[in-house]
Amino acid sequence: MNFVKLTEEQLKQDPEQQLKGFKKTKDFLVAIDTDGCVTDNMNGKHMLIFQPQYMEFYQLWGIESYFREVAEYYNLFSVNRGCNRFLATQYTLKSLAERKDVQTILKKKKIVLPAIEPLNNYIAYCEQNKLGLGNPSLEKYLSTQPMNLYLYKLLGWSESVNRTFPFLKIPPFENVKESLEIISEKADIMIVSQTPYEDLVNFWESNGLLQYVQTIAGQEMGKKGHHIEVVKKVCGYADTHILMLGDADGDLKAVRQNNGLFYPVPPGYESEAWQKFPGYFEKFIAGTYAGDTEDKLLDAFSKVLLKTPPWKQKGYDHVTAYREKQEIRKKLHDKLTPDIPLLVL
């Protein structure tokens, strides 16, 4: 594979140029997510980077347990897992504002949630103009209202998160490289993600995996389903010749909207999924994966991610709910970012 990295200027001018210029070399296409699928960095990114920096930017440490609980639900443990950072932030702010227990704490501690309207308007702007949610489109939207402090702060947080990513060194799961070698012999490989393009390229390159990849599509190129759609339209892959590997419901929806097949890498069962993948890949190539085989994997996958927030379930107790993920937070925190604040109940 001869992957050529886009320059910053090329990314701003036309982020989809590599998708539109995708060269078909095999009859099969395999699309692969990265965070939480190829590498076990989903928990680390959100618990150690996204959440602390957002609370610091908006002075929300006084509701840390509530903010972490809600943000973790949307980003990590629900069917929304892996969604775009701006959408997850929208979901989080909306849920926090709707919760009576959170409103009581906010009032008591005189804390004000960030205004959600500027974020809503930015997301609507991207939908109307068919732009991917990411820093380039946020900068473009900012140019239409350059005195909007809320948007500058949102961009500042997003840029800060991006600059911190490279320092969170978490390797790929075992058997990933071996699986990529097997895939590359019989299928073209594209990376589809809602992570920024630069971070994706850096990860795949630093881990010696870029040689297997034909193109990388990040959040700047739109949603994952769109990534696959563009390449499928350009190259004409048959529906049953398209397979996506992912760890979230959004990954399944992305490939289904293109009538392709899905191989789940369920959170908590990633190593097992990668160990068994070569056998399932052979079935995909042989045309026997669709049907009972895929259905059984999808049935098990559907039971892993939550569809209803804990705070909307009967018998909910906030402290108990927060403590359920406490050991995950603490282990990551003590190992990787011991100097950053972390509430332990």
On whether both 281 and 159 belong to a single domain, the answer is no
**Structural domain that includes position 63:** 42-167
Q: Kindly state whether residue 28 falls inside one of the protein's structural domains.
A: yes
pTM of structure: 0.77
Q: Looking at the structure, tell me whether residues 14 and 87 fall in a common domain.
A: no
Who's near 123: CB < 8 A, 6+ residues apart? Answer: 86, 87, 90, 133
State the average pLDDT over residues 71-90. 94
Asked whether 222 and 132 are in contact (CB, 8 A), the reply is yes
Residue 345 domain flag: no
**How much is the average pLDDT of 196-225?**
92
Residue 247 lies in a domain: yes
CB 255 within 8 A of CB 31: yes
Q: Residue 281 and residue 183: Cα distance in Å, rounded?
A: 8
Task: Name which of 105, 104, 143, 137 is nearest 123 in CA terms.
Answer: 137
Distances (CA, A) of 58 to 52, 61, 295: 10, 9, 44
Cα gap 219→197, rounded to integer Å: 7
Query: Does 321 reside within a domain?
Result: no
> What pLDDT is stored for residue 161 in this prediction?
94
Question: Are both 201 and 279 inside the same structural domain?
Answer: yes
Same domain, residue pair 146 and 221: no
The phi, psi pair for 190, rounded to 5°, reads: -130, 145
Give residue 322's pLDDT.
Answer: 97
For residue 60, tell me if it sits in a domain: yes
Mean pLDDT for the stretch of residues 115-132 = 95
pLDDT of amino acid 291: 96
Per-residue pLDDT, averaged over 77-105, amounts to 95
Residue 66's alpha-carbon distances to 3, 16, 269, 308, 331, in angstroms, are 43, 38, 27, 16, 20
Shortest CA distance to 281 belongs to which of 209, 131, 178, 132?
178
Is 239 or 222 the better-scoring residue by pLDDT?
239
Name the percent of the chain in helix, strand, coil, to the closest 5. Answer: 60, 10, 30
Instruction: Give the pLDDT confidence score for residue 1 in this predicted structure.
Output: 59
Distances (CA, A) of 144 to 46, 124, 140: 30, 14, 7
* Contact between residue 32 and residue 191 where contact means Cβ atoms under 8 Å apart: yes
For residue 211, being part of any structural domain is answered with yes
Do residues 87 and 223 make contact, with C-beta atoms less than 8 angstroms apart?
no
Averaged confidence pLDDT in the chain: 94
The residues with which 29 forms a beta bridge, in sequence order, are 188, 242
**113 shares its domain with 189:** no
Name residue, tokens 């892959």: 237
Residue range 263-287: mean pLDDT, rounded: 95
Q: Are 200 and 219 in contact (CB under 8 A)?
A: no
Q: Which amino acid is at 194?
A: Q
- What is the rounded average pLDDT of the residues 20-44? 93
Assign 29 to helix, strand or coil.
strand
First-last CA distance in the chain = 49
pLDDT of residue 128: 96
For position 159, what pLDDT does the model report?
Answer: 96
pLDDT score at 8:
86
Task: Compute the distance between CA of residue 114 and CA of residue 280 in angstroms, rounded to an integer.
Answer: 46
**Number of domains the chain is built from:** 2
